[in-house]
Structure 1
Amino acid sequence: MRIPFIKMHGLGNDFIVLDGREDALPALNAATVAELADRRTGIGCDQLIVLEPSHAADFRMRIFNSDGGEVEACGNAARAVAIYHGTQASLETDGGVISLSPQDGGATIDMGQPRFEWDKIPLAYAMDTLTMPVGWDGLGDPAAVNVGNPHVIFFVEDCDAVALEKVGPQIETDPLFPERVNVNVATIESRETIRLRVWERGVGLTRACGTGACATAVAAMRRGLVDRETTVALPGGPLTIHWDDDDRIQMTGPASESYRGTFEWDEFA
């Protein structure tokens, strides 16, 4: 059975998109996702995206990391899906319903309201999520934000100097985070600019993370470090994050289609 796919990316964070809204796809499992995501023997991607019908929104997006695990939200994928869909739409994710507004070369995504309660991150036990009294290998006093998936954010003098490939997996799998966590290290450049690197759970170091940019910007805004609209500069490029008066996060940035193809399902099942 040959399955069509669309290869897309947002600032270098790349996706395989499978459209199952009209014709149902075979059942996915973690092994199949990991095989497809393999950059040597599969198509290769950071995340595999599956579009499905929805009763709660115009359609649904399921998100699988390259290790095969399913996650709740992905801002870069939402922008890619927005330009693929082509018109404004509501999108159901496991992290909630968000809205898509495609633009030339990208999209604005209403990512919804951030959550700060310790049990909504979630954490293993109660603590202040604005300045958490914890640390790992020189990184301390982080903030935690859930923007559809969990993030912990460390504000440091130079995020490029942090050995994120070493400390990232330690923090991701720490028992403090029962659902694991995305790890962000950020440097405040000005009232309007943040420099950011992200260790993404189930993926590793990534060129861009839309939810990480949202979580980091909101954490910086809560601490009074930046204005309510700021540019987050990731290794793959910049995103504009606006936290509006209705407590909703608006993320604007580019996305693009790389190519289309088909694959034989049975070769990866």
Structure 2
Amino acid sequence: MIINFSKYQGAGNDFILIDHRDSELKNLDNSIVAQLCDRRFGIGADGLMLLKQHDDFDFEMVYYNADGNLGSMCGNGGRCIVAFAKHLGIIDSETNFLAVDGPHYAKITAKGNWVELQMIDVDAISKDDDAFVLNTGSPHYVKEVKDLAKLDVFSAGKEIRNNDTYKAAGINVNFVEDKGDHLFVRTFERGVEDETFACGTGVTAVAMALAQKKQPGYIETPVEVLGGKLQINFDYDGDIFTNVFLCGPAEKVFEGEIVL
């Protein structure tokens, strides 16, 4: 069976996208997804997404982690699948689509390379010692550090992700350094089990965690990640984060076909 695919990236977070509306591909087992995402024996990606038909939305996003398992919400993946939907002619400049954590609204520029994706509202942030724990569509651990550029994120993130508290369900581990005019963030992602160049739900979680130091109101947070720059905008009333938008580039890298 020959399957057509596209490869997209959002700030270095890269994904395989498949138009599943009228595809011969009926089932994807874990081993096939993991093989496709493998950077030596497959196409190579942080995750894989199916764009599926849905009667009540423009489309449905089904996301798989690089390890082959169905994943929770992926923010940069959501932005990339919006760009993919525009490329396919499914949407124009705005869309409402369904993901695993519910409906999402997004808007995209005319050129199709800047996507602003509305994320879920967040009303609960807990503490784990000096770190923050919250869910922005995926579970996140946020720890503020100094000299982040020199941190061994793989080792430090892997240790936290696999400790007694988080090993069973898994958690994404974010380290952040406040640079004053922006935040610098690096993330160890569960499901990839490695550091990625960006994590959309992760930078959203980081922006919320550090916003607790600020006065309530409308807050814009520029973020630097290994793969580029993102921005998170939201309203914060001192307790709840609403009107949350993850903004950044979503670019097509190439398209091709693969035999399964």
TM-score (norm 1): 0.85
Paired position in structure 2 for 1:144: 133
Paired position in structure 2 for 1:9: 9
Residue 218 (structure 1) shift: 0.8
Which of 185, 207, 210 pairs up with 1:196?
185
| Alignment gaps of 5+ in structure 2 | 87-91
Paired position in structure 2 for 1:187: 177
1:63-103 deviations in Å (ceiling 9; x for gaps): 11111121111111111111121221112111221112111
Residue 55 (structure 1) shift: 4.4
Matched, 1:262 2:252: no
Letter in 2 for 1:185: F
Residue 170 (structure 1) shift: 1.7
Letter in 2 for 1:91: F
1:205-241 deviations in Å (ceiling 9; x for gaps): 1111111111100111023399811101001111011
> What are the equivalent positions in structure 2 for 1:69-218 lying under 5 Å apart?
69-86=69-86, 87=92, 88-103=94-109, 104=111, 105-116=113-124, 129=126, 131-133=127-129, 141-177=130-166, 178-190=168-180, 192-203=181-192, 204-218=194-208
Taking a change above 3 Å as real, the CA distance of residues 24 and 224 of structure 1, as seen in their structure-2 partners, is farther
> What are the equivalent positions in structure 2 for 1:43-58 lying under 5 Å apart?
43-58=43-58
Distance 1:77 1:241 in 2: 15
1:225-266 deviations in Å (ceiling 9; x for gaps): 99811101001111011012671211110011011111112x
Q: How many residues align?
A: 245
| Alignment gaps of 5+ in structure 1 | 118-128, 134-140
Paired position in structure 2 for 1:120: none
Distance 1:173 1:222 in 2: 27
Paired position in structure 2 for 1:233: 224
Q: Is the 8 A contact 1:115 1:147 kept in 2?
A: no
Paired position in structure 2 for 1:126: none
Deviation beyond 6 Å, 4+ runs, structure 1: none
RMSD value, Cα = 1.9
TM-score (norm 2): 0.88
Q: Is the 8 A contact 1:197 1:234 kept in 2?
A: yes
Letter in 2 for 1:186: V
Distance 1:56 1:71 in 2: 22
Distance 1:176 1:224 in 2: 29
Residue 173 (structure 1) shift: 2.3
Matched, 1:223 2:223: no
Taking a change above 3 Å as real, the CA distance of residues 56 and 180 of structure 1, as seen in their structure-2 partners, is farther
Distance 1:248 1:225 in 2: 17
